[in-house]
Structure 1
Amino acid sequence: MTPTPATHVSVDVLALRFDRAARGLELATHVRPFDPFAGELALPGVLLLADETIAHAARRALAKVDAAPVATGQLLTFDEPNRDPRGPTLSVATWAVVGSGAGDAAVWHGLDATPPLAFDHDQILATTRPLLASLLWRDLTFSRALTGRTFSAGDAVALTQALVGKVDRGNLNRDLARLPGLERGEPAGHGPGRPGRVWRWQD
């Protein structure tokens, strides 16, 4: 018997934002309104339409969490035949950094405190975490979208801890100093003790 061709491709988005006040990295999910997995949390995703780019589909998916992307990029494709109970569907996992203005449709979680998700989205998150970590301070688009134009040394440490784990501050400062387009700013804060350094992306 000839296997049935896989005719569907979904684009599932790991939508991230940096909570500067809490110095934490958050992931957006939403409550699925329809079966399968109605009422369960999932990554925002859509089926790829004919003549549509993956980046455009990712923007449509982000509308489910009322979020506009600052930047997006591709990660991996997941091809487990039984990943979707509706039938064979490839999933192109993408990342997106979104602004702080996402609406009530988004359910935000700390990146290390995400509850069980629908479909194979737990596996997508676990598999792509190391890839996200590898982008920080190496992919300038990803890094700048997370930090904003100006960020503190403490912000850099918090982001690195959230994605990579342990931080060697000396090595981190040297890595930042070598990044093209990033310059040291004036120290932040006043009063006793050593003020934290500020970093600024050039236009």
Structure 2
Amino acid sequence: MEQSVVSVDVVALRFWGDDAAVRVGIAPRAVAPFTGELALPGVLLGRGERLVGAARRAVHTKLGVPEAAIGAVGQLVTFDEPNRDPRGPTLSIAMWAVVGPHAGPAQWVGFDAVPELAFDHNRIVDASRGLLAGLLWKDLTFTRALLGDEFPATRAVAAATALSGSRPDPANLNRTLAAIPGLARTTERRRVKATGRPAAVWAFDPEG
């Protein structure tokens, strides 16, 4: 029986500054197959390499993200369709990564604006979106990497909307935030846009 190789494909996310969208990093492939076509950053898992290390390598080499700008990384789901890669059977382990501000060359697109991608990468993005929405507020490593140590409530709404595809009910979101261990509502209020109302600011316990 032909043996599968293992690829690590990464849904790299950015959520910077005043941008209300959680965006996914894509870049043209430099090698065959699908040379020149847009794809998620991906690499073949090296002998003795851990998944997190491979994911960080993919984001750095394929998207041009400086290593220092790559934050938390985690595992999402495995895709085992035997014909997903024309080179032969390839098991794809989808990972997530959150990246900080940098001046790399990659394209960053919203979940609702992802173009046609190589391999089965559109399927990976679609499946990962739902999984990431489920991680938000439950996986504190992911949540804190995406939102930062403190954030106004409007950013929480924007993140939840971008990942789930629908705007959360404010009262329900406030209850969700209040129930997160180590997260508390501060006395500060912050205006994110000049025309917007000041929003409550939430902050993680620095000791957490």
Q: TM exceeds 0.5?
A: yes
Indicate how the Cα distance of structure 1 residues 79 and 102 shifts in structure 2: closer, same or farther if over 3 A, else same. Answer: farther
Distance 2:115 2:184 in 1: 38
1:65 to 38, 63, 66: 63
Q: Which residue of 2 aligns with 1:25?
A: 22
Q: Which residue of 2 aligns with 1:145?
A: 145
Distance apart, 1:146 and its partner CA: 0.5
Tell me the SS of whatever aligns to 1:167: coil
Distance apart, 1:116 and its partner CA: 0.6
Distance 1:17 1:195 in 2: 24
User: Where in structure 2 are the equivalents of 1:93-104 lying within 5 Å?
Assistant: 93-104=94-105
User: Once the two structures are aligned, what percentage of the paired residues are identical?
Assistant: 55
Q: TM-score, with normalisation over the residues of structure 1?
A: 0.93
| Structure 2 residue 49 is matched with structure 1 residue 46 | no
Instruction: Summarize deviations over 1:121-147 as a string: whole Å, max 9, x none.
Output: 011111222111100011100000001
Distance apart, 1:195 and its partner CA: 2.7
Distance 1:102 1:83 in 2: 32
Query: Does the Cα contact within 8 Å between 2:6 and 2:92 map onto a contact in 1?
Result: yes
Q: Which residue of 1 aligns with 2:132?
A: 132
Structure 2 counterpart of 1:19, one-letter code: W
Q: Which residue of 2 aligns with 1:4?
A: 2
Structure 2 counterpart of 1:195, one-letter code: P
Distance 1:102 1:140 in 2: 27
| Structure 2 residue 155 is matched with structure 1 residue 163 | no
Distance apart, 1:194 and its partner CA: 5.7
Indicate how the Cα distance of structure 1 residues 107 and 192 shifts in structure 2: closer, same or farther if over 3 A, else same. Answer: closer
Query: Does the Cα contact within 8 Å between 2:11 and 2:128 map onto a contact in 1?
Result: no
Q: TM-score, with normalisation over the residues of structure 2?
A: 0.91
Instruction: Summarize deviations over 1:45-71 as a string: whole Å, max 9, x none.
Output: 000011110000001101121224210
Distance apart, 1:4 and its partner CA: 1.4
Query: Does the Cα contact within 8 Å between 1:17 and 1:97 map onto a contact in 2?
Result: yes
Indicate how the Cα distance of structure 1 residues 137 and 102 shifts in structure 2: closer, same or farther if over 3 A, else same. Answer: farther
Instruction: Summarize deviations over 1:131-187 as a string: whole Å, max 9, x none.
Output: 111000111000000011111111011111111223100010111011111111212
Mark the runs of 5 or more structure 1 residues left unpaired by the alignment.
Answer: none
Structure 1 counterpart of 2:16, one-letter code: D
Distance 1:172 1:91 in 2: 34
